[in-house]
Amino acid sequence: MTETNPLTKKDFKSDQEVRWCPGCGDYAILNAVQAVCARMGIAREDTVFVSGIGCSSRFPYYMSTFGFHTIHGRAPAIATGIKTANPELSVWIVTGDGDGLSIGGNHLAHILRRNVDVNILLFNNQIYGLTKGQYSPTSPVGRRTKTSPMGSIDRPFNPISFALGCNATFVARTYDSNLKHMERTFEAAARHKGASFVEIYQNCVIFNDGCFEDVVDKKVRDDRMIDLVPGEPMIYGKQREKGIKVEGFETNVTGADDASVWDPTLSSSAPAFTMSMMDENPGHPNPVGVFRAVSAPSYDEVSASQVAEAITESGAGTIRDLVYAGETWEVS
């Protein structure tokens, strides 16, 4: 699958003019994805980017790989067809909070539970951007938007908890203002066999500017964000002086020395759930990084192996076998 000449980011740029608003977080995400594709040396022709509808869903046009800009919410369904019909392909889904969790919530749930071997990037900007500023299923309660002039009354989804609830085998979160963190997360997602789900905190400068500022801003993020790194103690803070200690289904903020070691490979998703909701507790940081990474057979793989098994067992079928079957009789 690898090409002989080392690939660069540029090899993954299409000739299309990128049309997001200047300052949109999507630019950085596109950069990170192209860098990861180059670094991993994946072949352009074996790669398909599939998207739904929304600002983020223009993504495939900016990649020089194969691309499919589908219809609202349905990217996971189309991607399931692509991957199941040809498991050799590297398939990526680009979606947003509206596309993936509102109109396409059903398909997202099912692609995750089936564990189709695809990489899902969910750009979360807590707003409908393409339709110009209505609240989304991840907008916090009280958020004032064009369709919620007195504040949104919807309780939002936590995308990480959602994915864990679907028994996803790889679940992670990253944010658009940290290229390194994005690249590391995307690469881990791409290497994972099975459905990988990555939520990306993405800033929409036009309709929801600064929606994650209180967490991702450089000035505060050391104290307000914790990066969950597999196999490492859960430490954060400017001086890396604070830690998270897990006690039962509770998390407590402690000193760095008392921090628990994070293990996303446990078969139970309960600890990951606890982590995903940690920031609801006062004084707790907002978690990013890898929440879950477990291995399970992928749908496409098993589907292909059933076909192969049937052929091995009874031989490849022909039209004659199909038609001249059952109880036949002759009329002369």
Partner 1 sequence: MTTTREPGSDLPLQKQERVVIRFAGDSGDGMQITGNQFTSTSAAVGNDLATLPDFPAEIRAPAGTRPGVSGFQLCFSSIDIHTPGDNPDVLVAMNPAALVVNIADLKIGGVVIANTGNFTAKDLKKARVEVNPLEDGSLEGYRVIKVDINKRVTEALDGSTLSTKEVQRCKNFYTLGLMYWLYSRPLEPTEEWLRKKFAKRGELAEANITAMRAGFAAGDIHEMFQGRFEVPAAELAPGTYRKIMGNQALALGLISGAELAGLKAFLGSYPITPASSILEVMASFKRHGVVTFQAEDEIAAICAAIGASFTGSLGMTTTSGPGVALKGEAMGLGVCVELPLVIVNVQRGGPSTGLPTKTEQADLLQALFGRNGEAPIPVLAVCSPSDAFDCAIEACRIAVEYMTPVILLSDGYIANGAEPWRLPDIDGLPRFEARFEKPREKGNSRLMPYSRDERSSRPWALPGTAGTEHRVGGLEKEHLSGEISYDAENHEFMILKRQEKVMGIRASIPTPEIRGPRSGDLLILGWGSTYGTIIDAAERCARTGTEGSTLHLRHLWPLPEGLDEIFDRFKAILIPEINLGQLARVLRGEYPHHNFISFPKVQGRPFLSTEIVEKVTDILER
CB of 96 to ligand SF4, least distance (A): 8
Our CB check for ligand SF4 shows the closer of 20 and 262 to be 20
Distances (CA, A) of 146 to 101, 150, 208, 308, 330: 20, 9, 11, 54, 73
Residue 256 binds ligand SF4, judged by CB under 6 A: no
The residue type of 157 is: F
Selection from partner 1, ligand SF4, none that 82 binds (CB < 5 to 8 A by kind) is partner 1
Q: 229-233 contacts: CB < 8 A, separation 24 or more? A: 229/262, 229/289, 229/290, 230/262, 230/263, 230/264, 230/265, 230/290, 230/293, 231/261, 231/262, 231/263, 232/261, 232/262, 233/259, 233/260, 233/261, 233/262
SS3 state of residue 164: helix
Q: Is 93 in the site for partner 1 (CB under 8 A)?
A: no
In the bound state with ligand SF4, the residue whose beta carbon lies nearer, of 59 and 186, is: 59
Q: Does 212 interact with ligand SF4 (rule: CB under 6 A)?
A: no
Among 7, 12, 26, 93, binds ligand SF4 (CB under 6 A): 26
Q: For residue 264, with 0-12 CB atoms within 10 Å meaning exposed, 13-18 middle and 19 or more buried, which class applies?
A: buried
Smallest distance, partner 1 to C-beta of residue 4, A:
12
Residue 310 near partner 1 by CB under 8 A: yes
24 forms part of the interface with ligand SF4 (CB under 6 A): yes
* Candidate ranges 16-24, 109-117, 223-231, 273-281; the one touching ligand SF4 (CB under 6 A): 16-24
Stretch that binds ligand SF4, among 17-25, 40-48, 72-80, 266-274 (CB under 6 A): 17-25
Q: If binding is defined by CB under 6 A, does position 206 make contact with ligand SF4? A: yes
Cα-based angle 100, 34, 113 (whole degrees, multiple of 5): 30
Return residues touching ligand SF4 (CB under 6 A): 20-21, 24, 26, 55, 125, 129, 204-207
